[in-house]
Amino acid sequence: MAMAKASEDPAASGGAQLRGAELIKRQLAHLPNAPGVYRMLGARGEVLYVGKAKSLRKRVAAYARPEGLAARMRRMVALTRAMEFTTTASDIEALLLEANLIKRHRPPFNIVLRDDKSFPYIALDLNHPFPSIGKYRGARKAGFEYFGPFASAGAVHETLNALLKAFPLRTCPDSVFAHRSRPCLQYQIKRCSAPCVGRIDREAYHRLVQEVRLFLSGRSARIRDRLAREMQEAAEALEFERAAVLRDRLQALAHVQSRQGINTRRVKDADVVALAVEGGQACVQVFFYRDGRNYGNRAYFPAHVREAQPPEILAAFLAQFYAGHTPPPLVLLSHRPADLSLLEEALMRRAGRRIALRVAVRGERRRLVELARHNAHAALARRLAEEDRQRQLMEQLAERFALPRVPSRIEIYDNSHLFGRDAVGAMVVATPEGFARRSYRSFTIKSADLAPGDDYGMLREVLRRRFLRLLREQPEDRPSGLPDLLLIDGGAGQLEAARRVLAELGLGDLPVIAIAKGPERNAGTERFYASTLARPVTLDRQDPLLYFLQRLRDEAHRFVVQAHRNRRSRGVERSVLDAIPGVGAKRKRALLLHFGSARAVEEASLEDLEQVAGISRAVARTIYAYFHEGA
């Protein structure tokens, strides 16, 4: 794999900088007739577009004639100031590299998968004599058995809650299991068999584990028949209590299966991927089927699809989606993606086994694809309706507060502290498409000279840090990342503090609105102080614009409070254990790994503390005495 870079040459063409198509033309003679990946770079070195090619020379030559390109690609060529090239051994490697680069850089002219977080699984921890079961997300570990993926954490929790009624396995961590002296609440509500205190022996518990493994592997009929037979035998032997337990387990088993929605007999392990396109937007709906069961579905809304065709959208989605997830043996599709055979070979190389991409045309497969397509159209219709409503509210906001333009990016600021301690500021971002959570930021307040609880000083620090960084990254007169409106939680004082900071930075024309709680601090009595208005205003309690602004403020408040709690909890664990004489970083780590939290260390008995690796009897007495004066 080889890399090369081409950029503007100020000496070329009589000193004029090479731009766009002219730059591309100059590079054609130096490009190989070989597969690879090319990147278009903007004026600041940012990646505008990533593409793959069987022949770099032939593919890049198309950009030297922008009149034959779509409008989106013409804009991209016009902004290009440099190019980077990477040759690969094959076009399959080029496709895999392209997908990885798009996921990393998220270029504005590529079709980009917005939500690519990992999927949750149900995991059995077989490393313990009494295995536990629970939700798991992340890299796989030795000694665990995984079932999934599930479309969402909610789907996992729902399945686990129903599953534990039929198979009462433990869900507690090993540290809790090792220190139980009596059954917990899970045992009382019949969701656990309490192996921690000997209410079930190891052999009977392992039968439960084996039944769970069979059920999650798709062999539920075997378990159901055996339970029904045992229930009948218990009833005939007049063991009515045991028969009632088996009856309840059978009912719970049926409940789990009924909650999994549409299942399938002919399709065992498959993903069903359906695309809907409307109004310049796209929705890709993915259904997960494992062992014939529906493990849920998730909707995705790829970005930058306005001028793209369904084969291109679906090909880009599949390449990026399976860059982070292992595909099942079969992927059923609503449309034929571009470069289907190449994509299939690339997925097989990544998975290390055979993968089939198929457009379903008949039978049960077709029925599953139609179900996914119907869900995709419904999800896209809901999103378009929400965005249309959001745009209307943005227009009303601009009109009501005399903004210079309809905002397309609103930044909302808030801060949180506890009597001045662990102070945190936060910024959330709203666009016409909704909240842009990838753009959220939290700021640990660093100023040592601030008085405890100085809300104005904290706001000034947050705004100064946020916009100084933006101006450093984009030193031009009007940085492209500037918001159209700032919304501040506060009143006239916060408005004035924000305006002064912006004026210092040469951004005094940015509109600012401060939202202050009314005299009774009740929702609906807020007063709005705006830099674009001479006097504060109030909105009618039933005004949709009021609800919209409240929602923006509340989201900022939720985010900053969560950031503050996280910081405070870390500080509590740090300060409590670090204050104990003789407990350094190594012993603190051993205590937290053994007990799980500082609070659990505080509640531990002297005998429990002595069981921790690296904690001697003398140190255990010191720790115990620290939390129990007079002991």
> pLDDT tens digits for 553-569?
999 999 988 887 877 66
For 288-311, the pLDDT digits (tens) are 888 777 788 888 999 888 888 999
Token pair listed for 475: 């030193």
Total domains present in the chain: 5
Give the 3-state DSSP-derived string for 430-484, with helices as H, strands as E and coil as C: EECCEECHHHCEEEECCCCCCCCCCHHHHHHHHHHHHHHHHHHHCCCCCCCCCCC
Residue 466 lies in a domain: yes
Residue 399 lies in a domain: no
Asked if 610 and 481 sit in the same domain, the reply is no
Asked if 94 and 24 sit in the same domain, the reply is yes
For 366-415, the pLDDT digits (tens) are 999 999 999 999 888 888 878 888 889 999 999 999 999 999 999 999 98
pLDDT greater than 50 at residue 12: no
Q: Where are the alpha helices (DSSP H) in 474-543?
A: 492-504
Residue 548 lies in a domain: yes
- CA-to-CA distance for 184 and 165, rounded, in angstroms? 16
Asked if 279 and 255 sit in the same domain, the reply is no
Asked if 235 and 352 sit in the same domain, the reply is no
Residue 278 CA to chain centroid, in angstroms? 25
Q: How much is the pLDDT for 428?
A: 94
Residue 400 lies in a domain: no
Q: How much is the pLDDT for 10?
A: 40
* Mean pLDDT score of the chain: 83
Global pTM reads 0.66
For 45-70, the pLDDT digits (tens) are 889 999 998 889 888 888 888 887 88
Q: What letter does residue 16 receive in the DSSP assignment?
A: P
For 94-132, the pLDDT digits (tens) are 888 898 899 888 898 988 887 666 788 889 998 899 999
pLDDT greater than 50 at residue 13: no
For 17-30, the pLDDT digits (tens) are 347 788 888 888 78
Q: How much is the pLDDT for 17?
A: 36
Asked if 234 and 374 sit in the same domain, the reply is no
Asked if 503 and 457 sit in the same domain, the reply is yes
Of 246-260, 268-282, 359-373, the range with the lowest mean pLDDT is 246-260
**CB-based contacts of 601, cutoff 8 Å, min separation 6:** 576, 577, 591, 592, 595, 609, 623, 627
Cis amide leading into 183 (omega within 30): no
Query: What is the CATH number for 65?
Result: 3.40.1440.10
pLDDT greater than 50 at residue 595: yes
Q: How much is the pLDDT for 14?
A: 32
Of 206, 232, 259, which marks where a domain is finished? 259
For 353-379, the pLDDT digits (tens) are 899 999 988 888 899 999 999 999 988
pLDDT greater than 90 at residue 613: no
Query: What is the CATH number for 556?
Result: 3.30.420.340
% of the chain beyond a pLDDT of 70: 89
Token pair listed for 322: 């399976």
Asked if 447 and 560 sit in the same domain, the reply is yes
Residue 223 lies in a domain: yes
Asked if 31 and 132 sit in the same domain, the reply is no
Of 105, 134, 154, which marks where a domain is finished? 105
Query: What is the CATH number for 338?
Result: 3.30.420.10
Asked if 444 and 588 sit in the same domain, the reply is no
Asked if 588 and 546 sit in the same domain, the reply is no
- Per-residue confidence at 75, pLDDT binned at 50, 70, 90? confident
For 501-548, the pLDDT digits (tens) are 999 988 888 999 999 886 655 666 788 999 998 899 988 888 889 989
- Per-residue confidence at 74, pLDDT binned at 50, 70, 90? confident
Asked if 321 and 447 sit in the same domain, the reply is no
Q: Find the domain containing 293 and state its range.
A: 270-382
